[in-house]
A and B are shown apart, each in its own frame.
Chain A
Amino acid sequence: ETGVTQTPRHLVMGMTNKKSLKCEQHLGHNAMYWYKQSAKKPLELMFVYNFKEQTENNSVPSRFSPECPNSSHLFLHLHTLQPEDSALYLCASSQDGAGVGETQYFGPGTRLLVL
């Protein structure tokens, strides 16, 4: 529907595991975002990439490591997560992240459970 896909849709991992979340956008956009959405908090912006360059890191712990190999793909590498990291991780894209008032198009999200 939105042109932004995310895999996997659901993920269960132990605290010692390493996993990666993948996002792909087919909209020709230049900016991509990672958000965390947990039950009791609003959407939390984690990272912003504009033209493959990271332009924002909102004090995210180093156990989350983003990677943006090109404008269409965005990864979030996960390592030694904590149970409180369990949440819905949403990827979004926009035409140009540096622009004012860019509409963001969200993917379906990855529901992550850390045991």
Chain B
Amino acid sequence: GQQVMQIPQYQHVQEGEDFTTYCNSSTTLSNIQWYKQRPGGHPVFLIQLVKSGEVKKQKRLTFQFGEAKKNSSLHITATQTTDVGTYFCAGTGTASKLTFGTGTRLQVTL
């Protein structure tokens, strides 16, 4: 079945440092979504990418969809303590099924 892996599993940065999480799918995806889950909270939709090589920005967050549509990345510039949480990618494969990635937990300290 379709598998979506994320690396790293966990990252601890100091406020102001950059952060990147990578998402890799075992199959080609028709689209990729990103969600953020704050500690004690629930996943909240951030963005969706559809086109090969697509790049989208939301303030300090940059999302990229790979050319082969099998991988994606989320980059946060100059992290803040409000960025703390777990970031999940979720990809839609050929069966139109949305599969969530394993998640990357981000900790930011002052």
Contacts and interface: CB of A to CB of B under 8 A. Distances in A.
B45 A101 contact: no
A2 B44 contact: yes
Contacts of B92: 100-101
Tell me the dominant secondary structure on chain A's binding face.
Answer: loop
Interface residues of B, number: 21
A107 interface: yes
Contacts of A45: 99-100
B31 A101 contact: yes
B55 to A, nearest CB: 18
Given A42-B101, A43-B88, A43-B100, A100 B30 contact: yes
Contacts, number: 45
B68 interface: no
A11 B19 CA distance: 36
Interface size class of A (residues with CB under 8 A): 10 to 19
Interface in B28-54: 30-31, 33, 41-45, 48, 50
B103 A101 contact: no
Interface of A: 2, 42-43, 45, 56, 90, 98-109
Interface of B: 30-31, 33, 41-45, 48, 50, 88, 90, 92, 96-103
